[in-house]
Chain A
């Protein structure tokens, strides 16, 4: 098993009364609450944490989110570019530029090819569907988002693998009549590709395409189901079985010297769930294309409550699922496979228990440094994980996934 460390560079330094009063902490919170000097310090610290991972031989992962306290990484290619140059050893997973939000996937292919060359072939390319507030932030139609996503992936893949001069793309969502990117990617035919999804339909397509399939904070049941849909779709399409190297899981992870320290500091990661998921109903339950119409009675009813059209402004709102996560305790998060925390032995055991429950995976993504966790705490956790836990996880070799 390999490990990939990530930090979303959240911005927790907005006054609590502002966050409590806002109906959404993503999408619509004014950026006057973001102090660029504090943001610069955060980037400095987090980039150093990425470089520490490089020193310790742990791979790194770069995400993208827009317009909220949950993440200042609105520009994935910018972080990937920095990591491509400043790290020297480890692999870099972009997970990812939010493709369906970008007007021209060819530009994305250019960015990825460039980062692959700068890093001399250490790039991996991940695709994320996006949704929620990011549809508003990017002016992106939420109803045919998934269709755009797949067409964009096809176009990026072709742009990376075509080496014979300009080709033409006149698809449903993207038109680019003269595609010919320079530089071409270092890795041939193209860097390994990943996709993050939990829903069975997309999971099946991820399986048929043979992408590395990553589940994020899904817990054992959802993860097992998604991996099973992936394998089943391959079997039904007559494709060969894949190994556990095709599966990945992302969770909050923190390692301390003791269980007490690991849990105490690791609990700070739950700020992400408790505070940064608060989203107004127009970006969640009422966002078109989000829930099939037949479920409308469950979605629309009860909306006279705080989330609904009859609601008073500036009352806390969240979709049901987010609501569940916003109140989760550290103990519940650990029981649900969302948080792995404790001393090195405990964390190793928690990861392996989860691994065995879901049928195995070859990659663990560590959602690190969130909320008010300090730079020193984050670096300590990275060191302990990379030196005490990761060598043991590396003993877990890929096997055929059944």
Chain B
């Protein structure tokens, strides 16, 4: 079976850092990519079905995505890379790390999805599909007025990318909603240094969820990013990049 035709952005030079984007693709011209790119060679793939990456027929599960990224890591020339996952991409990064730590030198999770913590009547992760858009907006940002996207100002191309990603996200994450019931048990297999970063104002997945997530990964370090909601890479790009860089430099 041929590999998936993938959109991959590369930026910067130095230690290889693979960044798995969240519910939408990262802006390659954005501040976070620029800031983190000063500390390493960023490799930014768009997940199949997002951006310009194709999604093969019947490729519609997180199982597919995890194996896709395991294969992706094997195709890179580097023996080991740093893996950084944001939100939905954080779930993928945690899955990959639990399966294949030997290809990684470090793991960074930012406001990650992926596990179930609360009781059966308490959802951990805001249902972005079944919740009113104004409520999703309110809970996604520390400062929604400043940072929430204004669809009237986005280009046609950006809106089409956004809609395509929205459909793909739903396909992958609808059920169980944004988590793998088995993953929490296997996070102990992550044996690389791990940093878990969380927007202090995240109302999509709370910092408390992040602390619990972090505690399930041996030796993981948990840090809050102040004045950020679910998207520290947008609200606090410099601070987030600095935290990641400091962590990587300490090692």
Residues of chain A touching chain B, judged by Cβ–Cβ distance below 8 Å, are 23, 136, 139, 141-144, 172, 280-283, 286-289, 291, 293-297, 299-304, 308-313
Contact = CB atoms under 8 A, between A and B. Distances in A.
A288 B174 CA distance: 10
B134 A310 contact: yes
Give the one of B132, B148, B164 with max A CB within 10 A: B132
A313 B132 contact: yes
Nearest to B161: A293
A148 to B, nearest CB: 12
Given A141-B170, A300-B154, A309-B136, 14 more contacts: A141-B171, A141-B174, A283-B130, A288-B169, A291-B163, A293-B163, A293-B167, A295-B163, A297-B156, A299-B163, A301-B159, A303-B152, A308-B133, A309-B148
B129 interface: yes
Interface of B: 58, 60, 129-137, 148, 150-152, 154, 156, 159-164, 166-167, 169-171, 174-175
Lowest 10 A-B CB distances belong to which pairs?
A288-B170, A296-B163, A309-B133, A293-B163, A300-B151, A293-B164, A296-B159, A141-B174, A143-B171, A297-B156
A288 B129 contact: yes
A311 B134 contact: yes
B129 A282 contact: yes
A174 to B, nearest CB: 14
A300 B162 contact: yes
Contact of B159 (A136, A281, A289, A300): A300
A296 B137 contact: no
B161 to A, nearest CB: 8
Contacts of A283: 130
Nearest to A298: B159
A281 B132 contact: yes
10 contacts: A23-B132, A142-B174, A283-B130, A288-B129, A293-B161, A300-B151, A301-B151, A303-B152, A308-B151, A313-B135
A304 B150 contact: yes
Nearest to A139: B175
B133 A282 contact: yes
Given A300-B154, A300-B162, A309-B137, A282 B130 contact: yes
A287 B152 contact: no
A280 to B, nearest CB: 6
B174 A143 contact: yes
Secondary structure call for the A interface: loop
B134 A313 contact: yes
A308 B133 CA distance: 7
A289 B129 contact: no
Nearest to B157: A297
Given A281-B133, A282-B129, A311-B133, A143 B175 contact: no
A5 to B, nearest CB: 35
A295 B170 CA distance: 18
Given A143-B171, A289-B167, A296-B162, A304 B151 contact: yes
A26 to B, nearest CB: 13
A309 B134 contact: yes
B133 to A, nearest CB: 4
Contacts of A310: 134, 137, 148, 150
Contacts of B174: 141-143
A287 B129 contact: yes
A301 B152 CA distance: 5
Contacts of A302: 152
B197 to A, nearest CB: 25
A283 B132 CA distance: 9
A301 B162 CA distance: 12
Nearest to B169: A288
A300 B129 contact: no
Contacts of B150: 304, 310
A296 B170 CA distance: 16
Contacts of B167: 143, 288-289, 293
A313 B135 CA distance: 8
A182 B60 CA distance: 35
Q: Which of B164, B167, B169 has the most CB of A within 10 A?
A: B167
Contacts of A296: 156, 159-160, 162-164
A250 B135 CA distance: 37
Nearest to A296: B163
Nearest to A23: B132
A208 to B, nearest CB: 20
Contacts of A303: 133, 151-152
B163 A280 contact: no
Given A139-B175, A141-B171, A309 B163 contact: no
